[in-house]
Amino acid sequence: MAQTQIISLPAEIVVEISGYLPNRDVKNLRLACRHLASAALHFPRVFIGPNRRNINVFLAVARHESFRRRVTEIIVDDAILPRAGAHIDNQQVGLSLEPGADGTGYSAQHRPSWATTVCQGNIERMLDDNNIDHDWLRHSMVDQIDTADAWPIYVRMLDEQVHYTATDHVRRALDLGLERFVNLRKVTITSATHGAPFNPLYRTPTIRALPPNINYPRPKGWLTRQDTWSTDPAWEDDGPAYFGFRTLLRALAENKDNGKVTQLVIDASFFTLNGINMSLFDSDNATLRDLQTVVSRPTLRQLHLHFRDYRPNSMQPHFHRQDALGSLLSQAAGGQGVEEMALGLSDAEIFDFLTILPPPSLARLKHLTLSYITTDLETFVDFLAELPPTLETLTLKTLLFDAPMAQADGKTPKLLVRIRDDLRWGQRPRPPKVLLGFQASSNPRRFAASHLRCVWIDADDFLYHGGLNPLYHFRSYRYGVQDDVWYPRSSTIVPEISNHIPLVPGYQITHYR
């Protein structure tokens, strides 16, 4: 009877149901009977990166007359795997793309000591994390591939990476896809593809081909060419660093997509102290010119940018870089401004927000996200006063106002008061929704490990409905949403904010549950 009822379903219902299933389940559904074979595989996004399998699958989709019409997003895998490392101490390793003065490379025959330290640290950090499902973790550790078998697999990935970052295979494949994906609207560049141990953020074709539960050195964001983590590395227009970022910008600047792309997302939000190096703005270079061309597209609607302003040894802020960034954003969407903007500036201290986000870049703004920025309260309030009446949502993640956000005597509670009493957003025809994010762990090792677990607080009740200030009255603010990017099974409703917010603010998360 059940089989008869399933077969009697209209094809449109089968297609609708299959839209909620991952492709691996759709494949099994299609094999059940002829009627269910109408369930279509979905390809809303495709991946491209310096790996043979990623390139081959990307080209296969681009050349398929049906599949190519379903693609709306290209995700550029810019997580370049480390080929060298240097021990900072017994537990920490600085990773890089090439051996340098302090870093050592690798041998195809034996796993080097830096890689061993990284892999051991992967396990230790997860074991220390009480919020991870330990039953799942134990199974993953028991089933993980032997070290002797894992290292040759990693070396093969490195060899492919070296080959494809030195040739034009990725560029030619990307050019073809940009032309043939007729419904393409969005491009995303990410350095977080490999995610956490045993749990990648994106299951790209290359990652799907790996043995399950393989433990290997994963890049935590964009890596520098050599061991320059203690200095400010100069920008380079060639080499493996920022390979995907540079390649995509070049293709878009040459209009290989025929103007279809309206959403550009440079996503560094999954790791702290990460982002595109702001040395990009130090001098005229090909990548900066390409970025200027793409950002100034009149059809651009969504722009997400995340930069890192390297300031080792407490260097003074690079004011010229902020001026150059402001000049770039003032030309967004042909000078009209975009509708959705997300900006992250790791390590940057902002003294004038209107310098980096001038009024022309805000004219059409509906959604604004700011993350990991240090600034002055008065400067920030002056900036908020310039936001247009079109604003619908404001998301603040990890903003620092001279003191950590989560301290009750810090500046964030005062910020909410200023928004309510001075800016009077509650009198707007459509008051914008304000959301705050904090790191939800008091474990300092989590901070060092760049592990993203956040508590989200909605400030609307205080701003618009006479409620208590959630950052003054932790004990009275009885709810929040705790979200974990790497381990979604850990996402929960937390009963009391005060038990979860430490002195260190949280990190940007782009996935809302």
pLDDT in tens, 139-151: 777 677 777 788 9
Residue 333 phi/psi, 5-degree rounding, is: 55, 45
Q: What average pLDDT score do residues 357-368 get?
A: 91
- Report whether pLDDT(275) > 70: yes
pLDDT at residue 87 greater than cutoff 90: no
Domain spans in the chain, listed from the N-terminal domain onward = 1-42, 73-80+168-499, 84-165
The torsion angles phi and psi of 48, rounded to 5 degrees, stand at -140, 140
The reported pLDDT for the residue numbered 451 is: 47
Q: Tokens representing 262?
A: 């309206």
- % of the chain at pLDDT higher than 70: 79
- Quote the CA–CA distance of 494 and 141 in Å, as a whole number: 28
Quote the DSSP letter at residue 132. S
DSSP 481: E
* Euclidean distance between CA atoms 396 and 351, whole angstroms: 17
Query: Comparing 109-123, 175-189, 220-234, which segment has the lowest mean pLDDT?
Result: 220-234
Q: What is the rounded average pLDDT of the residues 357-371? A: 91
Mean pLDDT rounded to a whole number for the chain? 81
Contact 482, 494 (CB under 8 A): yes
pLDDT digits (tens, 9 = 90+) for 41-52: 777 899 999 999
In the structure, what pLDDT confidence band is assigned to residue 273 with cuts at 50, 70 and 90?
low
Q: Is the dihedral of CA 297, 298, 301, 307 positive or negative?
A: positive
Segment holding 4, helix H or strand E: helix 2-7
Q: Which DSSP category does 423 fall into?
A: I
Instruction: Choose among 85, 74, 79, 73: nearest CA to 51.
Output: 79
pLDDT at 365 over 80: yes
* Residue among 274, 114, 140 at smallest CA distance from 200: 140
Distance CA 92, CA 495 (A): 35
pLDDT at 431 over 90: yes
404-413: per-residue pLDDT in tens? 444 434 556 7
| Residue 361 pLDDT level (bands cut at 50, 70, 90) | confident
Question: For residue 230, what pLDDT band results from cuts at 50, 70 and 90?
Answer: low
pLDDT score recorded for residue 420: 94
What does the pLDDT average to over 60-88?
A: 93
Confidence of residue 311 (pLDDT cuts 50, 70, 90): low
